[in-house]
């Protein structure tokens, strides 16, 4: 196994914020009800259960092998309360609601064995599919089922990550305390059988020596030690750091024949194949100053967010964000369920009240990229809430956005073209499609300009107006099309 230190130009190191979680795992217990959104209105006719049916944890509720993301699996024992179209992320889709009977048992996936060496790739793929694990990760896990945009034999790079580059991160010791290192390595061995042509990497925070030593194994072709600066953990930047292949924001690692998975997914692979346990629950990191009780919790997939946060907020008015304060989506309705792609739930207090003459205050707990505030001298925990701490004003041409941009762009220059409605070949020549939507330019902008919004608008308009297509973008970066 090779060990290399790698990084990228730009980026930003977050440290010293309020709201870090304790390195403990709690269980919130079984939810009263769970909900499972399906893909579209056609899925209603493909449901494998009806209202009033009794279901078991691990039972298939919906399956369509022609659709990526299949199947949907029950995560609790209980009764189907309803199956009805519901507004979901701007469109109406069927949602299956199951009411719990209060029992913990689950139905194992068929065909599992403790003798992992006896399994071939086809056996492993089938188990992961029916366990609901194969759809994990941004591009899924390639199987002979429709679980990924690329085929198993096409994968040239398998990257397992734990980079700790965001404001809040899941504690690796927590994940490997629930399972073991042996479980993790067994899960990795199973993935290598599925993707036999892949070079396997472990991308680790280089400032975590104990775990670097623990995770060193000949199962990896390369241990990549990365600087924990944002957005190193974002799949596009990580793939570029590890393989040298640039991934524009309109594409995914699969276009570079790469699959990126986190440590928890590798452990789910082990659990599914060794014990037959379906993907019923996840360890979710509860972070942010809006929580009065911050830890890691075991949550059944499909549990509503209001059940998850109950008793943890001390009556505060919070905004809840999934996975990242920088790129995560806000939870628009707390009655909506947790889905399998959620790893971190962040609670930020709503900062609705402006501060009078804010610029005159020393800012002991305010965060600034400039070393002009007292926080540069006094290392006190920094406030993290939704307050902009200022209003939008004219661009100062300070260069902060260029200095931190991981794609080497000039966001302030590009934003001016989009703002003035001059979206044409010029902004393409300036490389707007290199933008990976990390939002770091907006974060560091001293003029409070939503630069990343302008970048997204510019890219969307170029495609809509026919200046570029997904195929042309792929060709220009030497990437390939996927399904």
Residues 87 and 163 in one domain: no
**φ, ψ dihedrals at 320, nearest 5°:** -100, 130
Residues 245 and 269 in one domain: yes
CATH number assigned to the domain comprising residue 94: 2.40.50.100
Residue-level pLDDT at 34: 96
Question: Stretch 244-252: mean pLDDT, rounded?
Answer: 90
Residues 56 and 121 in one domain: no
Residues 265 and 172 in one domain: yes
Residues 77 and 220 in one domain: no
Question: Stretch 239-247: mean pLDDT, rounded?
Answer: 95
- Determine the distance from the C-alpha atom of residue 479 to the mean position of all C-alpha atoms in its chain, rounded to a whole number: 23
Residues 96 and 114 in one domain: no
**Is residue 343 one of the residues assigned to a domain?**
no
State the DSSP code for 402. H
Residue-level pLDDT at 363: 56
pLDDT at 348 > cutoff 90: yes
Q: What's the pLDDT band for 351 if we cut at 50, 70, 90? A: confident
Residues 87 and 160 in one domain: no
**At which of 258, 275, 292 does a domain end?**
275
Residues 38 and 159 in one domain: no
One DSSP character per residue, 434-482 reads G-----HHHHH-TT---HHHHHHHHHHHHHHTTS--HHHHHHHTT----
**Is residue 314 one of the residues assigned to a domain?**
no
Tell me how far apart the alpha carbons of residues 309 and 332 are, in angstroms, rounded to a whole number. Answer: 14
Task: Mean pLDDT check: name the lowest of 86-95, 103-112, 299-308, 438-447.
Answer: 86-95
Residues 171 and 42 in one domain: no
Tell me how far apart the alpha carbons of residues 126 and 57 are, in angstroms, rounded to a whole number. Answer: 18
**Is residue 144 one of the residues assigned to a domain?**
yes
Residue-level pLDDT at 79: 98
pLDDT at 358 > cutoff 60: no
Residues 11 and 145 in one domain: yes
**At which of 236, 252, 275 does a domain end?**
275
Tens digits of per-residue pLDDT, 89-143?
A: 777 888 999 999 999 999 999 877 788 888 999 999 999 999 999 999 999 999 9
Question: Stretch 73-85: mean pLDDT, rounded?
Answer: 94
Task: Give the range of the structural domain holding residue 210, as residue numbers without chain letter.
Answer: 2-16+109-275
**Is residue 341 one of the residues assigned to a domain?**
no
Residues 171 and 206 in one domain: yes
**Is residue 137 one of the residues assigned to a domain?**
yes
Residue-level pLDDT at 352: 61
Q: Which residue pairs, CB below 8 angstroms and at least 24 apart, start in 458-465?
A: 458/414, 458/417, 458/418, 458/423, 458/427, 458/432, 459/249, 459/250, 459/432, 459/433, 459/435, 461/418, 461/423, 462/423, 462/427, 462/428, 462/432, 462/433, 463/250, 465/423
Instruction: Record the pTM.
Output: 0.92
**φ, ψ dihedrals at 428, nearest 5°:** -70, -40
Q: What's the pLDDT band for 39 if we cut at 50, 70, 90? A: confident
Number of domains in the chain: 3
**Is residue 163 one of the residues assigned to a domain?**
yes
Q: Which of 201, 233, 226 has the alpha carbon at shortest distance from 215?
A: 201
CATH number assigned to the domain comprising residue 160: 3.40.50
**Is residue 39 one of the residues assigned to a domain?**
yes
Tell me how far apart the alpha carbons of residues 238 and 203 are, in angstroms, rounded to a whole number. Answer: 8
Q: Residue 157 is encoded by which pair of tokens?
A: 């790079």
Residue-level pLDDT at 400: 93
Helices assigned H by DSSP within 116-180: 121-130, 172-178
Tens digits of per-residue pLDDT, 260-278?
A: 999 999 999 999 999 999 9
Q: Residue 406 is encoded by which pair of tokens?
A: 């991981």
**At which of 72, 100, 128 does a domain end?**
100
**Is residue 386 one of the residues assigned to a domain?**
no
Residues 216 and 143 in one domain: yes
């Amino acid at each position: 196994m090779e060990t290399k230190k790698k990084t990228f130009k730009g980026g930003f190191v977050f440290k010293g914020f309020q709201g870090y979680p304790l390195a403990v795992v709690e269980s919130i217990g079984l939810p009263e009800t769970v909900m499972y959104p399906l893909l579209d209105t056609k899925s209603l006719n493909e449901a494998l259960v009806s209202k009033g049916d009794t279901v078991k944890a691990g039972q298939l509720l919906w399956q369509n092998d022609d659709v990526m993301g299949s199947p949907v699996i029950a995560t609790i024992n209980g009764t189907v309360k309803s199956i009805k179209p519901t507004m979901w992320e701007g469109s109406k889709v069927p949602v299956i609601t199951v009411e719990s009977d209060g029992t913990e048992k689950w139905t194992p996936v068929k065909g599992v064995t403790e003798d992992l060496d006896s399994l071939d790739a086809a056996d492993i793929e089938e188990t992961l599919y029916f366990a609901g694990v194969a759809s994990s990760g941004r591009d899924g896990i390639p199987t002979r089922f429709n679980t990924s945009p690329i085929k198993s034999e096409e994968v040239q790079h398998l990257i397992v990550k734990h980079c700790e580059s965001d404001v809040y991160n899941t504690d690796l010791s927590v994940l490997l305390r629930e399972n073991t290192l042996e479980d993790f390595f067994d899960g990795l061995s199973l993935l290598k059988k599925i993707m036999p042509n892949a070079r396997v990497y472990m991308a680790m925070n280089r400032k975590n020596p104990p775990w670097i030593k623990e995770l060193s194994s000949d199962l990896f072709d390369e241990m990549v030690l990365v600087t924990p600066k944002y957005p190193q953990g974002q799949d596009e930047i990580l793939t570029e750091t590890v393989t040298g292949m640039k991934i524009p924001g309109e594409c995914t690692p699969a276009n570079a024949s790469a699959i990126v998975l986190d440590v928890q997914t590798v452990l789910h692979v082990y659990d599914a194949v060794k014990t037959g346990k379906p993907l019923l629950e996840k360890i979710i990191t509860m972070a942010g100053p809006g929580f009065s009780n911050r830890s890691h919790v075991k949550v059944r997939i499909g549990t509503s967010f209001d059940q998850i946060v109950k008793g943890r907020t001390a009556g505060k008015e919070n905004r809840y964000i999934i996975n990242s304060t920088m790129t995560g989506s806000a939870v628009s309705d707390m009655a909506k369920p947790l889905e399998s792609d959620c790893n971190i739930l962040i609670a930020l207090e709503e900062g609705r009240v402006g501060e009078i003459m804010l610029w005159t205050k020393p800012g002991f707990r305010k965060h600034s990229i400039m070393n002009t505030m007292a926080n540069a001298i006094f290392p006190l925990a920094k406030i993290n809430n939704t307050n902009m701490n200022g209003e939008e004003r004219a661009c100062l041409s300070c260069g902060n956005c260029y200095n931190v941009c991981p794609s080497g762009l000039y966001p302030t220059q590009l934003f001016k073209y989009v703002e003035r409605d001059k979206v044409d070949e010029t902004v393409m020549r300036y490389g707007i499609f290199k933008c990976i939507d990390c939002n770091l330019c907006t974060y560091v902008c001293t003029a409070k300009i939503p630069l990343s919004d302008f970048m997204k608008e510019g890219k969307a308009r170029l495609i809509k107006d026919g200046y570029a297509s997904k195929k042309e973008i792929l060709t220009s970066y030497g990437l390939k099309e996927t399904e």
